[in-house]
Structure formats: structure tokens, C-alpha cells
């Protein structure tokens, strides 16, 4: 469902975009924005579309740092990179906010079919999985098509088996298929364990047809045994499925050296453009600095880092700073429990400052296609005005509530409104959380279009006379992490 | 360059293919084939185009055996599979011909940038590479764009360095770009070593943009030190190249546990349709049973196995066997020194039998696009007649000499003519010698079209009244292995 302002749509159709847009917009809600605010937002947008430095930022992070799993040496290097790099871009206030993060080491994963026809498979430990002893686990395989099918089975069908959840994820522009598929990874291990399974193997939560498996975090329940959990690639899952074809029993052996280590220290890196009128009111532009360990974290989330950094940098080049503070927050440890986001939300509480609205970029460089928000009801008409600046670049306005992003959830739970630019996720899950998440998958033009959208929206939020109100506690939601 | 029979082309344009083709053909050279021979070849072709069991054969091999590097347990399983499977298809004479094969174990490869910005890379040992000690080799990196550039350097520029040959291979339908690019893999290690390099790293000889590296054999010269050699994926090579961008020294560390083991025994598996008139004259249909260790060897060369087995099986279903023997030869150890092909050629010599012509299928399932041969001059007109059966399915006739395939070279050197169906290799080097060489990359329709072509050509060769003469020793050539 989309919602367009018919007056603006009509003018767009007439090919008369920017000047008339401002007139219409000021007629709709003169209280929030002056004509020149909307003009400035449109100028930021158009400047970004002419080319930005966003790809250069992403390249710097992935070339000079690379993998940066929370708590790893790469994570430390990323924090050091961010502090230096943001200062080099001219941000005056750049700080590290200390965050305690968990530590987990992937180690090696051996996954092999033992019967009927022995073959090695390519698999990766799911993030947070326990390891096995050196001998590994060898057991018959119970193949199910979905987590729902598994949950419906009696314990005596499952106990003693390695469960194989053979569910394929389809691509989707809005990432909705990931939200559904990811449950087998996050909840599958404890559901299988509670039915007596000795290990879990899943077909990767990802859309790549290459022989690469997709990692990501699991969540062990406290009331179930902790069993090892691995993901295998789509072609490996195909092979395992074929071995079931003639009805013989299928066996697997898993050996994982994954292990948890004591927690350690990392940091959110925060850069500000202080507001000239209301510096304690923050418009937050978030992305996460950590990545999974298998690759460079280029799409997830150097792309987001590049977008929000460049959007703020463009705003910093305006002749006059906005009324409110624009804060770029590069979160620690999005991937492994949101400890950076939790720490940020804890620290802002009672600081005398408030995030009046947040935006987060964490879905790669696929082009922006929609805009929406979760704001107080009285602020909803403002979204239509803001959308007027985005519509000329092909961004729809959705009338659905916005999730906002994983790192914004701790703030959102305390009432902070969120705005959201939707990224085209059709190709994102080909590379997300895999070895293929490298710079060559980042679309420079997509980044520029996002910078255009984020800069325009952040600027408008930072100069808006009124705010976006506060939210009631949100309903639970899932998205890409 | 293509060569078409204008009379046939004109008839094809008129939509009058099979009956008129036979009349024309018999008019052109009544000495070699009767009309009904050409009709039978066309019927074989058309039967194959209606669907064959080739994909089923490929699936069986990769599902029940999988990786089958010469001398490995998988190789033994492949020989056992082939003996059983070919008998189950109704071939009466199925034999294993013992072959001594080398043995090499890949082990693990650690490749990491040590300076300026440390990062792990994904690399694989090149087949046959020596290992390192546990500490590995750490050295500065000398980047060159090509093997030619390396060869032109003075020893003092190269000595003590790890050489990085950063040459990208482009795709090509005729596999010609592989023939050029592969030299850095086969000859690069000894050329680098002879200039004092301590190790060699190459951008993969492959066209995949995924984070997978491409293996394949090297050839150590006896007059150069044996240095470790690895291939890194294209995105990893991009990363390494980017680290050179600001002029700082770049360092790498390599640690390989690759090792050579004592030779062991494998086998060529040979199945026959004995000829009813000239059983000691053999039309050879070859493919190789071994594969690299990284994947299932689906395109390389379960596809070829499937094509030649199915082509022979279709011929076996004819009411009457051809005059000559059709022999399916599934070679041992194509990948690692052609010991199966050498043994076959040694054994046939002085056996009282002779291969009058050979065809080999070893370039995947990409559609057939051309036909040619290296035959005695007096037999060249016969190629045009044979091509008449292939032209209706879009196969050109090339007037260039045919290489024939790696496994046919030992026979070819002793004068055996070869015929060659050219496979479209545009996508082949995305998967060849990588973890991505899995069943999902095999095109069932491509297999069927190849079966059509191989069956028709093999049949015509087996019923041809005259033979294809003998060849002088061929000029050296390279192709996909």
C-alpha cells in the first residue's frame, strides 16, 4: 500500500518538480518547514545524485579493516579506523562510547555425509553455536521441510537425530522472506534440542546458489540443551536432499571447534554536527560498524556506514547547520546481540539529550524504493511533506508503520520515533552473512541514491519546527540483521 | 571461420532437412555412407533431442560419489560406481584398466595480508604445490600484471618476494581465454622460482566473481626450486590490489599443508559395443572419471561422462550394431598428469586393435556450437557429410584443425585422428575447478543436445566404409583441463 499526495503527483506528472513542490508543500503545512528548508533538502538530494564519496568510505573500511566480528582484532581496528576517518572528514565531535561485547570464535566446521554415500559438505557454524568434541557428532538425519513441521513432531521421532531443515528462501525486494526464513536459524537450535535432537543443520538462510553458506546469530533458550548448529549452502542442501531420494537412511557427522570466549570491550563511534538552536535534540543516523567474520562486511554494513557518514558530511557542507544535532552512530555489535544499541539507549537516558527521530541504514546498497515512518499520529502529515522531496527520485511513500532497523529498537521501545528509507533487498541475501560480502557487490550508484534520500530526510528532520512526538511501545518485529 | 556445404544450407533454408539431406549426401560421397546410415544418424540425433538419460547419469555420479581426485578414496568409489553403473545400463563388456596415478593432498591453505592492513584471504593451493612449514612464508609482495611481465624482470627485482600475478581471465565461448590464462598457473611457479621468488600467488584462472578460488595443476620444472603456489579468488585479488593503491609495501603470509604422497592405483573404465564387422577398429568416446577435490566435478567432467555414456547407450539400442566397435573410455586422472590417457595409449599399441578416431567430452554442458576434426587430408570431405547431420541443430562446421581434448593427446601423437564437438564454454570457467562445480550448474538440455551430436557422429564414424587416415605428429596445443 502506498500513499501519495495527489496534488504533488499531479505536478510531478506535469514535469514541474522542485519549485512547485515547495509551493505546494508550504501550503500543506507551513508550520513545520519554510520553503527554503524544502529547497535545501532538494539541493542536498540533487547534489548527492551528481555523485558522492560514499563508495570511497565503504572501500576504505573494507580495504583497511575487513572482517570485524564483535570483540575480534578486526573490531578494534574498525573502531580505530572510524575515529580517524570521521575526524579526517571534518566531523568536529567524534567519540568512542565503550560497549561490552560477547566474543565467539567460529573455528572450523567439518560437515560430512556418512551414509548412504559419503561426501564432504561445505557448512559454517551458526553464530554462537557451541562446538563439538574432537570426534564430532555422528547420527542419523531427520529431514523436515520447515520449522513448523519440526515443531509438530513428537519427541520420539526427533530424539537422537541430527535435524535437517530443508527450507529454501526466496529473494524479495522488501526483505520479508528473510524475516520468515530466519526463524529456523535463530530459534531452530533450541526447538530441535527441546525435542531431543543432537544437532541442527539448516539450508542457508540466503538466496545464493553458490557453494557458500550463510552465518548469522542463533538464540539458545535457557530451557533447552545447547546443541551445535550449522548452515550448509544451497547446492550442499540439494546434494543432501538427493541422498534421501532412494529411501536409504542418511547419516551425517559434524565436528565444530566453535567456542565462546569471555566478553570484551568495543565501542560505538559517534560523530556529531551540533545543532545551532536545539543541540540537545538529536536526529540519529545509524549504521553498524561490526560485521560477520566470513568476509569484509561490505554490504552488511560498510554500505550503511558509507551512506550515513556521507549524508551527514553533505549536510556539514551547507552554509548553515540545522537547528538540531545530527548524530552519526556507528554501532558496535549489531550482529551478536545489539549490545552497542543497548548501550547507546542506556547512555542517552537521563543525559539531558533526546533522540527525536532515528534512521538506520542496514540493508546494503540496493536502490531506495520507499519511505515511511513510525511517528506519533499528529506528526504523520509531515511524512507526506518529506516524501515530496523523495518522490522525484522514484521513492514511494508507504502508509505502513516502519520497523526502523535492529539498532533502533532499544530507542524505539522507549518511545523514539523512526523514519525508514527502504533498500531494495532483492540481491542482498545473495551475499549477506557470507564470504561473498565484498566490495564488488556494493553498487556505487545505489549508495549515491541512498545518500540523497538520507541526507534530505535527516536535514528536514533536523530543521523541522515541531518534532515527531513519541511512540507507544512497538509490536515485535523482525528484519535483516 | 566456418565452412558449410552450400547445397545443404540451401535445403535447410527451404525447411526440407532429413530426406533431402540424405539424397544430397549420398550424391556427394556414396563411398563412405549409405543413405540409411545417414538416416540412422539423424534418427539418433532426433531421439536425443526428445530427451535423454544423460542428466540422470551425471546426477548418479555426483550424488553417489562426489569429489574424486586421482588416488583418493573418492576416485576408488568412482571406479566402482562406473563398473556397476555401466553394467546396469546394459553394456556387455565393461572393464577396469589399471593405471598408476600420483597422489596429492590439498590440506589447508592460510593466505593473509600482513601489511599494510592485515586481512585474511580465501585461497587454494594450486594442484601439486608443495606445502610450507607450520610457520609459513611471510614476505613482501611483488605485483605483476602478467607472466610476460614477470619473465621480463631481472632476478634482483623478484628474489625474496612472493610474486602476485594479477591477471584477470575473460570468459569466452571457445575457451581460448583459458588456454592463454592457464599458463600462469602451470608454468608460473617455476618461472617465479627461477627468478628467486619464495612463493607464487595468482588471481584465479577462472571467471567467477564469487569468493572462490580456482585450482588445477601446476608443472614444476626440474631446474627450478619448488615453491608453494596458491590461487586467490577474484574479489580477494581485488582486495590485495587495492592494498597497493597508496604505495605502501604489501606483505603476505602463506601457510600450506599440501603434500605429495606415494603413487597409488586407479583405473580407466572401458565399456564396449563390439563392432559386428570390424570389432578391432575402435571409435573412441572419451571423458574423464576423476575430478578435482573441491567439489562434485559435475561440469568437469560428470557432464562429459554422461554425454558419452548416453551417446553409446542410444547407439546400443539400435536394431543393429555398427560395423566398428564403439568404446566408451572413462579415463583415470585427467587432471593430474593424464596417466589414464597415457596408459590407454600404451595398452592399445600392439594389442592388434586400433582407435580409428576419437572424440572426447570435457568442457561441461554448455550447448554444442561447432564441429571439426583433425583427420587425414583425404578424409576431410567426410567431415562435411557428417556435419550435414549436425547443421540442423545449429552446429557450425569449422575448417580449423581440432585439438580433440587432453585425454586424446597420447593417441593423437601416435597418429590417431580426432573429431571434436565444441561446447559453449562461456559459463564453464565460472565453476570449473572450484567448489561451485555442482550438479545445479549442469544444463540438462545442453547435455541432450550433446548426446545428439556425439551419438550421430560416433555412429557415422563406426559405420563409415573408409577410415579417417592417420595424422602426422600434431602441433602443441592447450585446452581446458
| pLDDT (0 to 100) of residue A290 | 97
Question: What pLDDT score does A14 carry?
Answer: 40
- Alpha-carbon span B442 to A83, nearest angstrom: 49
Dihedral of CA B31/B34/B39/B45: which sign?
Answer: negative
What pLDDT score was predicted for residue B92?
82
User: Which of B57, B88, B211 to mutate against chain A (most A CBs within 10 Å)?
Assistant: B211
- B90 burial (CB, 10 Å; 0-12 / 13-18 / 19+) is exposed
Distance separating alpha carbons of residues B440 and A140, to the nearest angstrom:
25
| DSSP character at residue B300 | I
B439 touches chain A (CB under 8 A): yes
Residue A91 backbone zone (phi > 0: left; psi -120 to 50: alpha; other: beta): beta
Map B48-70 to HEC letters. HHCCCCHHHHHHHHHHHCCCCCC
Would an 8 Å CB–CB cutoff place A93 in contact with chain B? no
Q: Which three cell numbers stand for residue A284?
A: 540519529
Identity of the residue in A119, A235, A436 whose CB atom sits nearest the CB atom of B210: A436
Q: Average pLDDT for residues B120-131, to the nearest whole number?
A: 96
Q: Could you tell me if A69 lies within 8 Å of chain B, comparing CB atoms?
A: no
Q: How confident is the model at residue A246 (pLDDT cuts 50, 70, 90)?
A: confident
Answer yes or no: do B62 and A120 touch at CB < 8 A: no
Q: Looking at the predicted structure, is the pLDDT value of residue A7 above 60?
A: no
Q: What is residue B478's predicted lDDT score, i.e. its pLDDT?
A: 54
Active-site residue, selected from the candidate residues A43, A334, A391, A396: A334
Active-site residue set of B: 334
Contact B210 A209 (CB under 8 A): no
Residue among A60, A81, A116, A210 with most chain B CBs within 10 A, to mutate: A210
Helix (H, G, I), strand (E, B) or coil at A188: helix
- Say whether pTM exceeds 0.80: yes
Are the C-beta atoms of A24 and A8 separated by less than 8 Å?
yes
The strand pairing partners of A418, in sequence order, are A358, A374
pLDDT, one tens digit per residue, over A427-478 is: 999 999 999 999 999 999 999 999 999 999 999 999 999 999 999 865 655 5
Residues 6+ apart with CB under 8 A from A10: none
Confidence of residue B480 (pLDDT cuts 50, 70, 90): very low
What share of chain A has pLDDT > 70, as a percent?
92
Looking at residue A337, its pLDDT comes to: 87
Residue A273 pLDDT level (bands cut at 50, 70, 90): very high
| pLDDT at residue B66 greater than cutoff 80 | yes
DSSP state of B171: P
* pLDDT score for A350: 87
Phi and psi (nearest 5°) for B20? -70, -35
* A63 interaction partners in chain B (CB closer than 8 Å): 117, 239, 242-243, 245
Position A466 scores a pLDDT of 95
Query: Smallest CA–CA separation between A156 and chain B, in Å?
Result: 30
CA closest to B119 among chain A residues: A66
Contact A122 B435 (CB under 8 A): yes
Residue of chain B minimizing CA distance to A239: B63
Task: Provide the greatest CA pair distance for chain B.
Answer: 73
Average model confidence (pLDDT) across chain B: 92
The tens digit of pLDDT for each residue in A97-106 reads 999 999 999 9
**What residues of chain A lie within 8 A of the CB of B435, using their CB?**
122, 211
Q: Average pLDDT of chain A?
A: 92
Whether B377 has its CB under 8 Å from any CB of chain A: the answer is: no
Work out the average pLDDT over B101-130: 96
pLDDT at position A92 is: 82
Residue B476: per-residue pLDDT = 59
| Closest CA relative to residue A232, chosen from A193, A184, A298, A192 | A184
- Cβ neighbours of B66 in A, within 8 Å: 117, 119-120, 239
pLDDT for the residue B4: 39
Tell me the per-residue pLDDT of B440-479, one tens digit each, with 9 for 90 and over: 999 999 999 999 999 999 999 999 999 999 998 656 555 5
Q: What is the structure's pLDDT at A23?
A: 41
pLDDT tens digit string along B379-404?
999 999 999 999 999 999 999 999 99
Inform me whether the pLDDT recorded for B179 exceeds 70: yes
**Is A66's Cβ below 8 Å from some Cβ in B?**
yes
Indicate whether A196 pLDDT > 80. Answer: yes
- The pLDDT value recorded for residue A474 is 58
The pLDDT of residue A188: 97
pLDDT (0 to 100) of residue A12: 39
- What does the pLDDT read at residue B474? 58
Report angle CA B316, B321, B324 to the nearest 5 degrees.
110
User: Using CA atoms, how far apart are residues B314 and B44, in angstroms rounded to an integer?
Assistant: 7
CA distance B142 to chain A (A): 19
∠ CA(A449), CA(A454), CA(A460), 5° rounding? 130
Q: What are phi and psi of A368, to 5 degrees?
A: -70, 135
Contact B374, B402 (CB under 8 A): yes
CA of B442: which chain A residue's CA is closest? A235
- Is the predicted pLDDT of residue A479 greater than 70, yes or no? no
Complete edge-to-edge strand list for the sheet that includes strand A109-115: A119-121, A109-115, A251-256, A137-144, A162-165, A199-203, A229-232, A123-125
Contact B438 A295 (CB under 8 A): no
Taking the C-alpha atoms of residue A405 and residue A419, their distance in angstroms, rounded to an integer, is 10
Cβ–Cβ contact A156 with B under 8 A: no
pLDDT at B481: 46
Nearest CA in chain B to A434: B211
Nearest CA in chain A to B436: A211
Q: Which residues of A touch B434 (CB under 8 A)?
A: 211
In this predicted model, what pLDDT tens digit does every residue of B309-357 receive, in sequence order?
Answer: 999 999 999 999 999 999 999 999 998 889 999 999 999 998 999 999 9
Amino acid at each position: 500500500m502506498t500513499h501519495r499526495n495527489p496534488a504533488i503527483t499531479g505536478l510531478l506528472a506535469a514535469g514541474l518538480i522542485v519549485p512547485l513542490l515547495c509551493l505546494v508543500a508550504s501550503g500543506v503545512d507551513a508550520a513545520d518547514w519554510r520553503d527554503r528548508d524544502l529547497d535545501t533538502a532538494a539541493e542536498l538530494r540533487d547534489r548527492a545524485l551528481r555523485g558522492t564519496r560514499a563508495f570511497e568510505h565503504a572501500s576504505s573500511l573494507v580495504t583497511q579493516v575487513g572482517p570485524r566480528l564483535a570483540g575480534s582484532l578486526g573490531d578494534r581496528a574498525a573502531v580505530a579506523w572510524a575515529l580517524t576517518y570521521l575526524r579526517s572528514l571534518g566531523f568536529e565531535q567524534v567519540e568512542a562510547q565503550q560497549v561490552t561485547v560477547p566474543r565467539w570464535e567460529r573455528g572450523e566446521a567439518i560437515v560430512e555425509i556418512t551414509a548412504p554415500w559419503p561426501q564432504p559438505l561445505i557448512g559454517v557454524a551458526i553464530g554462537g553455536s557451541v562446538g563439538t568434541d574432537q570426534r564430532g557428532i555422528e547420527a542419523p538425519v531427520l529431514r523436515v521441510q520447515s520449522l513448523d513441521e519440526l515443531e509438530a513432531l513428537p519427541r520420539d521421532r526427533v530424539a537422537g537425530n541430527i535435524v535437517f531443515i530443508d527450507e529454501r528462501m526466496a529473494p524479495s525486494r522488501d526483505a520479508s522472506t528473510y524475516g520468515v526464513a530466519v526463524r529456523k536459524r535463530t530459534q531452530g537450535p533450541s526447538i530441535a534440542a527441546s525435542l531431543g535432537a543432537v544437532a541442527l543443520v539448516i539450508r542457508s538462510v540466503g538466496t545464493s546458489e553458490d557453494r557458500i553458506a550463510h552465518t548469522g546469530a542463533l538464540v539458545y533458550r535457557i530451557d533447552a540443551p545447547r546443541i551445535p548448529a550449522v548452515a550448509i549452502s544451497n547446492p550442499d542442501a540439494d546434494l543432501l536432499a538427493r541422498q534421501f531420494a532412494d529411501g536409504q537412511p542418511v547419516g551425517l557427522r559434524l565436528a565444530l571447534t566453535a567456542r565462546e570466549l569471555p566478553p570484551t570491550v568495543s565501542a560505538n563511534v559517534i560523530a556529531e554536527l551540533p545543532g545551532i538552536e536545539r543541540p540537545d535534540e538529536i536526529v540519529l543516523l545509524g549504521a553498524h560498524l561490526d560485521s560477520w567474520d566470513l568476509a569484509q562486511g561490505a554490504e552488511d554494513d560498510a554500505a550503511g556506514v558509507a551512506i550515513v557518514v556521507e549524508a551527514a558530511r553533505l549536510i556539514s557542507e551547507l552554509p548553515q547547520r540545522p537547528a538540531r544535532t545530527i548524530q552519526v552512530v556507528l554501532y558496535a555489535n549489531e550482529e551478536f546481540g545489539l549490545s552497542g544499541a543497548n548501550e547507546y539507549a542506556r547512555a542517552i537516558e537521563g543525559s539531558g539529550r533526546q533522540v527525536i527521530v532515528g534512521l538506520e541504514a542496514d540493508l546494503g546498497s540496493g536502490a531506495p524504493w520507499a519511505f515511511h515512518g513510525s511517528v506519533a499520529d499528529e506528526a504523520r502529515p509531515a511524512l507526506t511533506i518529506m516524501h515530496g522531496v523523495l518522490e522525484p527520485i522514484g521513492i514511494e511513500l508507504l502508509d505502513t508503520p516502519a520497523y526502523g532497523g535492529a539498532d533502533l529498537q532499544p530507542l524505539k521501545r522507549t518511545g523514539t520515533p523512526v523514519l525508514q528509507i527502504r533498500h531494495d533487498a532483492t540481491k542482498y541475501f545473495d551475499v549477506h552473512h557470507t564470504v561473498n560480502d565484498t566490495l564488488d557487490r556494493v553498487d556505487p550508484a545505489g549508495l549515491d541514491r541512498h545518500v540523497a534520500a538520507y541526507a534530505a530526510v535527516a536535514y528536514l528532520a533536523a530543521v523541522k519546527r515541531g518534532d515527531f512526538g513519541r511512540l507507544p511501545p512497538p509490536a515485535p518485529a523482525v528484519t535483516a540483521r
